[in-house]
Structures are given as structure tokens and as C-alpha cells.
Amino acid sequence: MARARRGPAQIDKKGGRDTTMPRTEQLRPALERQGPRPLPLHLATATLLWGSSLSAWTLWKSDSLRWSASLQAAKPAQEEASEQALRAALEKCDPEVFQTALAQAVRERMGRFLDGVEAYRSYPEHRELPEMPVVWQEGNSRLLDYAPDAPSDAPTVLFVPSLVNRFYVLDLDRETSLLRWLAREGFKPVVMDWGAPGESEMDFTLTDYVAGRLEAALDALKQIQEGPLHLAGYCMGGLLALALAQRRSRDFASLVLMAAPWDFHAEQPEAARLLGLQAEVMAPLLRTMGVMPTDMIQSYFALLDPAGVLRKFLAFAQFEPGSPKARRFVALEDWLNDGVPLAAKVAGECLSGWYGRNEPARGRWRIAGHPVKPEDLRLPALVMVPAQDRIVPPRSALALAAALPGAQVEQPKLGHIGMVVSARAPERIWKPLVEWLSARS
């Protein structure tokens, strides 16, 4: 069992951090855009999806594309009606004319998708926000202060983001920043910037991140703040925040969980188990590499909606260059493509333990040898579950809300990322969050 690794608080001292990753890479995307990542996967998806239309038409035209009798009988009535309507429409078409039009449509759609990708990759604007003060650092992990001039007794909110995505989805740009909003509302938001695994993090487990890095950052934070301290976790960071809250509940006034998964078998349990099995098969390779690479992680996200990236870039190709809509698209896409590798042991714990064996919901997920049990936590808790979340199924997050005694649940009609960056986020997420925290500060 991995032991908790604790070290002295460091503020950018020489030798106090790893130099395996350039600091600019840890602050914002590289100027040479690589996305949408992994690009070969998305190009292959586009080719297979749209190219298969021509193959399907050839089979349809020869009457070779037929269902077996058993499958035909099992088809829902709505699908049967749609098929009959399609057959009736195609019977009225000249086959050669239709084939020509179909081939042209495929070429146009592929061309528009490639235009969208090229327009994104060559977009001239990049995220250029000043770096916030570092109040603690250990290895490649840093704690950033978004209200450095706030009084010491201001209510503080410690944000814990996911390990696989950069923290700055909470600070996307000057107009779209939950962290800057909270600072303007009189709070002192501080956020954990995990950075990418360097030499000191390569052998980490989740215990090292929670009982090591998070607790060390908390100790440093307590030395500089005197007001009430709140804890907030987003996505995967919600589970890490929950584990920290259980270990150090006396240090916090409340806990906020935003789109945090818990029951990984609440929806599509077979797919979750398959993901766990795949991780076990890949375990030797990951141990050799030391990390699960970003493009491999992005491939799993892409499988949630294989055509999602295609739809996005088809639409982006039509955006007016330089428009607010185009700039917002690029900023968000830069963040999505600026992912972080996972240390190999952490990847195994998450994929095999969380997805494969559903250890959190079964009471078997442990940090530093102790099970993480939300039912034992006695902190005021706010659980925000976006109703349109495709990454964390709402039923998975609601299971955590049900396990937390007396938790207040909010279910805004937003998506997983939209809950923090959409135009509706300030009204439906930010303001309710401020009101809830203020009542407990």
C-alpha cells in the first residue's frame, strides 16, 4: 500500500519543483495546436462514418442490406417505421442521381470538417492571462491564489479539479471565470494546479495526491487564512475533495461537489466493466511508460460520443472569424486539448478500481488504508448535478448526494462543462453557489 508523501511547503524555491515540464506548458496550451486530440482518431471516425454511407448505399441498392428475421422482429416500432419511410423515399429516386448526390454530400461534409479543424489550428488568439500568485508548491503541484489582496479573514474556497484536465476551465478567460467571480464577490478562491506528472509524481497513487499533496497544501493554506474555509471539487476532483474532507473535516466549513461521479455502474455498467478490463490488459504497457498518455485518455472521452467532435468542427467552420462565439469555441477547445497524463498507478486505480469494480459505491475505495465513506461525513454539503451531463451520468452523481447526510442537491439543466463555462452558468451555478457559501461563512 502506498504511503502518504508529505513534504515542506515550498514557494518556487530553487530545486523545489520538477523541471521536467516547461512552466509555459503548465500555464497554457502550446502555441502549436495539436487538437482536436487525438486527431488521427477523429479523422478515422469521419472517414468511417461518412464513407460508410456510400458502402451502405451499394448494399441497399442491391437489396443486400437486410435484417435477419429474428432481428427484424425485435426492432422497435419506431425504427421499423423509419426504415419503411426511408425505403419509400428512395424508391422514388433515380439510383444514379442519388449516388452522385450522396458522394457529393460526403465530400462536402468531409471538406467542411477539415476546414473547421484547420481554422481552429491556425486561429491567431491564445489564452494570455497573468499567472496568479503561488502560495504553495511541491513537485509539479501548485496552489494558486485568485484573491491575493483579500483580507486574511475572508471566506476561502479551496478548489480541487480533475487530475486529467487543467484547472483553468474554472478560469477560461476574463469574462468566463468562476474563480474571478468568487473573488469579486468577497471570497478568496484558491485552486490546485496539479501540473503534469514529473519525476516525483511518476510513482504516485491517489493516496499520494490526497493524503500527500492536498493535505500539504491545506496545511500551508491554513497558515495564511483566518476565515472560514470551504472545499469544492469538480468532476474527478470531487472524489479527491470528498476523501480530503473525510480526513480533515474539522478544517472545513462546508463541502461543494460539482459533477462528481460516485456510482460508476449506475448507467451502462457493462461499458464501465469493459473499460476496467481494458485497463488491466494495458497495465504492463502503462507501467513501462510510467503514465497513461493524454491522447489515450482523450480517446476514452471520444468514445462517449464518437461523432461529437465532428459536429463541433462542422459548426465551427461556419462561425464568423473573430466573433465572440468563435473565440469562446477556441478557448474551450484549447483547454480540452491541453490535457494531462495520468500516473500509471493512478490510471489503474481509476479505470480498474472505479469503473471496473465500482469501488467507491461499494465502499471499497481506500485512501491511506481507510475506506472513503460519505455517509460518515458531517459537513454541510452542496451537490450540483448537471442534468445534461454526458461525461458523469446524473445517476452516478446523485448516488453520492444520497450517501451524504443532509446534502442539498441542485440539478441545473446544463452539461458537464457548461455548468462552469456556458452563458447560463453565472445565473444557474455561480450565483447559487455564492449564496450557499455566504450562508455558511
Cα gap 352→391, rounded to integer Å: 18
Cα gap 393→261, rounded to integer Å: 8
Q: What is the pLDDT of residue 264?
A: 97
Cα–Cα separations (whole angstroms), residue 25 to 20, 36, 234: 11, 17, 22
Q: What is the pLDDT of residue 304?
A: 85
User: Cα torsion for 360, 298, 415, 262, to the nearest 10°?
Assistant: 0
For residues 382 and 407, is the Cβ–Cβ distance under 8 A? yes
The residue ranges of every structural domain in the chain are 39-121, 133-263+360-438
Sequential pLDDT tens for the chain (441 residues):
333 333 333 333 333 333 333 333 334 444 578 889 999 999 999 999 998 988 888 887 777 666 677 766 777 788 778 878 877 888 888 888 989 999 999 999 999 999 999 999 999 999 889 999 999 999 999 999 999 999 999 999 999 999 999 999 999 999 899 999 999 999 999 999 999 999 999 999 999 999 999 999 999 999 999 999 999 999 999 999 999 999 999 999 999 999 999 999 999 999 999 999 999 999 999 999 999 999 999 998 898 899 999 999 999 999 999 999 999 999 999 999 999 999 999 999 999 999 999 999 999 999 999 999 999 999 999 999 999 999 999 999 999 999 999 999 999 999 999 999 999 999 999 999 999 999 999
In CATH, 133-263+360-438 is 3.40.50.1820: yes
Q: What is the pLDDT of residue 29?
A: 45
User: Cα torsion for 424, 429, 432, 434, to the nearest 10°?
Assistant: -110
